[in-house]
Amino acid sequence: MAELRLPAPPRRHLLSIADLERGDVERVLDTAQSLAASLEREVKKLPTLRGRTVVNLFYESSTRTLASFELAAKRLSADTMSLRSAGSSVDKGESLKDTALTLSAYEPDVIVVRHPSIGAPQLVARLTDAHVVNAGDGKHQHPTQALLDLYTMREALGRLEGLQVAVVGDVLHSRVARSLVQALGLVGAHSLLVGPPTLVPRGIDALGCEVSHDIAAIADADVVYVLRMQHERMGEAFVPSLREYTALYGIGPARVRDGQVVMHPGPMNRGVEIDPRVADSAAALVTDQVRSGLVVRMAVLYDVLTVAPVEARVHAEVA
Ligand code: NCD
């Protein structure tokens, strides 16, 4: 006789900024802030996720994102395991589906996924009982990067509402830009995308931002957010030469006015999209971003595991 199975309770994932409401963003940032305060203590480990298991499944190279997810899980006392595509059965051709099903057999509570294909984290979320966090899928989304960037801006500038953020460079290949523009919109900040027409996709203003091809447009911004030129995703020449790109859109000292802060998600191509004199200046928040990455990812792991998904909250309100 067929076994009677009750529907699984809804699970909370973080797949895209589009799934969040303003309150969700603010709650994660506030949690990150209290976690940062508790990390000031000499003993940095909190018992919060003791007995939970977090698996990092990374099909693309990563330094900051993987390191911070690993450390975030450890600081919350979760057991953690990281699988990179190189050196696992993935490079023997095991499909994402089979890998996800294999890992599910260990019953992880959270799977953090980075993959070159758009939608890979959604697929893993359908196949497993774990909560899934998107750590970057192709050109699509990188929600935890957007959250840590918002956290960094709020810490440095004291507010998010009304901030003007100019995002400069290779928007076309950037999941960071897409997530960031959506997240800024949720909290009442404004974004302006600046870059050559070949690197700013037509219609991107539908995300709720302005677009300019003139670098002078960054003058009014509170934050200049520099994107990496993504050589690995550029199949053809999108710019006549890197030297010309740097001359037209590179962020050097002459393009940063007093009072502006400069951000970059890393890894930086020094001398291409950002001049080392800017990257190493007091205006640059690049190291703050890396530091924020840890507390914000701790907050995200805690959030997906403890806060009910929107559907469940809606049901609770109706009932
Ligand atoms: C970004 C990424 O991988 O999407 N880096 C990161 O997560 N720190 C940005 C980039 O690679 O340009």
Asked if the model's pLDDT at residue 274 lies above 90, the reply is yes
**Does 313 have pLDDT greater than 60?**
no
How far is ligand 1, taken at its centre, from the CA of residue 176, in Å? 7
pLDDT of residue 278: 98
Q: Residue with structure tokens 């940032």?
A: 29
Answer whether residue 163 shows pLDDT above 90: yes
CA of 152 to the centre of ligand 1 (A): 16
% of the chain exceeding 90 in pLDDT: 82
**pLDDT for 264 beyond 50:** yes
pLDDT of the residue at 43: 86
pLDDT at 9: 59
- The overall average pLDDT reported for the chain is 92
- Backbone phi, psi, residue 125, to 5°: -65, -35
Q: To which CATH superfamily is domain 17-141+292-304 assigned?
A: Aspartate/ornithine carbamoyltransferase (3.40.50.1370)
Q: For ligand 1, atom 12, name the residue with the nearest CA.
A: 228
pLDDT for 319: 47
Q: Take residue 77 and report the two structure tokens written for it.
A: 């006392």
Q: Which of 2-6, 92-96, 305-309 is predicted with the least confidence, judged by mean pLDDT?
A: 2-6
Residue 34 confidence (pLDDT) above 90: yes
How far is residue 145's CA from residue 143's CA, in Å, rounded to a whole number? Answer: 5
pLDDT at position 310: 58
Asked if residue 311 has pLDDT above 90, the reply is no
Strand partners, 141: 137
Tell me where in the chain the CATH 3.40.50.1370 domain(s) lie: 17-141+292-304, 143-290
Output the pLDDT for position 312.
Answer: 59
Residue carrying the six token digits 């200049």: 224
Closest ligand 1 atom, residue 64 Cα: 8
65 lines ligand 1 (CB under 6 A): yes
- What average pLDDT does this structure show over 283-310? 93
Q: What is the DSSP string of 16-41?
A: -GGG--HHHHHHHHHHHHHHHHHTTS
- What per-residue string of b and e applies to 87-124 under the rule 16 or more CB within 10 Å gives b? ebebeeeeebeebbeebbeeebbbbbbbbeeeebbbbb
Question: Ligand 1 in contact with 169 (CB < 6 A)?
Answer: no
Nearest CA-CA partner of 121 in 109, 108, 130, 134: 134
With a CB cutoff of 8 Å and minimum separation 6, the contacts of 294 are: 68, 71, 72, 75
Q: Is 228 in the pocket of ligand 1 (CB under 6 A)?
A: yes
Predicted local confidence at residue 231, as pLDDT: 80
Its CATH class, for the domain covering 143-290, is: alpha beta
- Measured between alpha carbons, how far is residue 36 from residues 293, 299, 307 in Å? 11, 10, 20
Ligand 1 centroid to Cα of residue 46, in Å, is 28
Is residue 64 lining ligand 1, measured as CB closer than 6 Å? yes
Mean pLDDT of 1-24: 80
Is 141 touching ligand 1 by the criterion CB < 6 Å?
no
Determine whether the shortest distance from the Cβ of 122 to ligand 1 is under 6 A.
Answer: no
Task: Tell me what pLDDT residue 118 has.
Answer: 95
Mean of pLDDT values over 87-102: 82
Q: CA-CA distance, 246 to 274, in Å (whole number)? A: 8
Q: Which of 67-81, 133-147, 238-252, 301-315 has the lowest mean pLDDT?
A: 301-315
Ligand 1 contacts CB of residue 266 (under 6 A): yes
Tell me what the mean pLDDT of segment 121-125 comes to.
Answer: 96
The predicted pLDDT at position 190 comes to 98
pLDDT above 90 (res 280)? yes
Confidence of residue 307 (pLDDT cuts 50, 70, 90): confident
Encoding tokens for residue 286?
A: 């690049």
Q: Is 319 exposed, middle or buried (0-12, 13-18, 19+ CB in 10 A)?
A: exposed
- Is any atom of ligand 1 closer than 6 Å to the C-beta of 145? yes
Average pLDDT on 137-165 reads: 98
> Of the candidates 81, 13, 74, 71, which has an alpha carbon nearest to the alpha carbon of residue 49?
74
Instruction: Report, as an integer, the average pLDDT of 231-258.
Output: 89
Q: Which of 59, 64, 65 to mutate to test the pocket of ligand 1 (most atoms within 8 A of CB)?
A: 65
With a 6 Å cutoff on the Cβ, whether 230 touches ligand 1 is: yes
